[in-house]
Amino acid sequence: MVVSLGIDIGGTKIAAGIVDADGRVLDRVRRDTPTTDPLQVIDAIADITELFRKEHHIRAIGIGAAGFVDATQSTVLFAPHLAWRHEPLRDAVARRTRLPVLVDNDANAAGWAEWRFGAAQNETDLVLITLGTGIGGALVIDGQPYRGKFGIAGEFGHMQVVPGGLSCPCGNRGCWEQYASGRVLTRRAREAADDGTPFGVELLSDAGGDVLAIGGAHVTAHARRGNKEAMAWIADVGDWLGVGIANLAAALDPGTFVIGGGVSDAGELLLAPTRAAFSRTLTGRGYRAEARIVQAHLGPEAGLIGAADMARLTARRRRPASPGARARVRAAARTGRSPRPRR
């Protein structure tokens, strides 16, 4: 079976998998990300490729990177957690592996996967919002990924929703991700632990007594067990998420918003307040159709599945015609008839 290799490169881990034409992950591996040296990341990708080649016939490699990728899907312009600046990743990996390579933003890859195989199948216009430490995003418009003129579309987390608001690592203030991401849950949880509140003490115990080890996942776990304070924090994130989605709907008018990333593990605890805030904030509410807001289906493997599928489709389009196909084209040119496709 001819398959493609999908690789999702994050700030802490490299997740890789062999993916078939139906989006199924047949084999997988995970490695730590060597964040200080881009050449070490390329070494890791080459090693993973050789490992999988022992068992699989790989047609192409798709890489989803947590950073800005240029419109040619070849260069990582900026990746804050990977020390990459104008890194020609596609060509470097292609030289090492001797395979066709495609590079895209990790959220774009995840959005494509959800459109092809996940929560938004049969939807022409999709917006994916990934909620992790920050907010990422992707668009599929009329069945095609939309990357923008320079390849950087979908950075929704840095829309300013509160002028002069909380400081963001991007250098601006009041960015959406400061109010509607896992960062919010982590910040509130650590503050509660520092203040010694009853819930904060529980969270600190969960993290082994280390305040800096407390994260949003701890809050979600308590919310699922019915903790009212944790549920309220997640509902607050949902309120801000719904407001931002209403703004995106005013600009883009998609049929479906897919919510992915680690914070989406809260399920309806997050999505119910999100839908409510979206409905009451949406421009023209009551007089227009409302987009669906649904949870992503493919989980943490969406990025590698989407990257692999995009690489497979691109390699298929670029594959040279077979000798038989070329002969049929030459014969058609001589006779003036259209060549008959092979079944």
Instruction: Give the whole-number percent of the chain exceeding pLDDT 70.
Output: 92
137 and 274 share one domain? yes
Residues 278 and 172 in one domain: yes
Token output for 323: 């000798």
Contacts of residue 77, Cβ cutoff 8 Å, sequence gap at least 6: 67, 68, 69, 70, 85, 86, 151, 152
Q: For residue 40, is it within any domain?
A: yes
pLDDT digits (tens, 9 = 90+) for 191-228: 999 999 999 999 999 999 999 999 999 999 999 999 99
Does 299 score more than 70 pLDDT?
Answer: yes
Total-model pTM: 0.87
Kindly report the CATH number assigned to the domain that includes residue 69: 3.30.420.40
Per-residue pLDDT for 328 more than 60?
A: no
pLDDT-wise least confident of 269-278, 289-298, 320-329: 320-329
Q: What is the number of alpha carbons within 13 Å of residue 116 lying toward its C-beta?
A: 22
Q: Given this model, what pLDDT does residue 12 score?
A: 80
Residues 18 and 35 in one domain: yes
Q: Specify the higher pLDDT residue, 117 or 81.
A: 117
- How many domains, the chain? 2
Give pLDDT tens digits for 243-291: 999 999 999 999 999 999 999 999 999 999 999 999 999 999 989 999 9
86 and 185 together in one domain: no
CA distance 209 to 213: 8
If asked whether residues 130 and 278 sit together in one domain, one would say yes
% of the chain at pLDDT higher than 90: 80
Residues 261 and 164 in one domain: yes
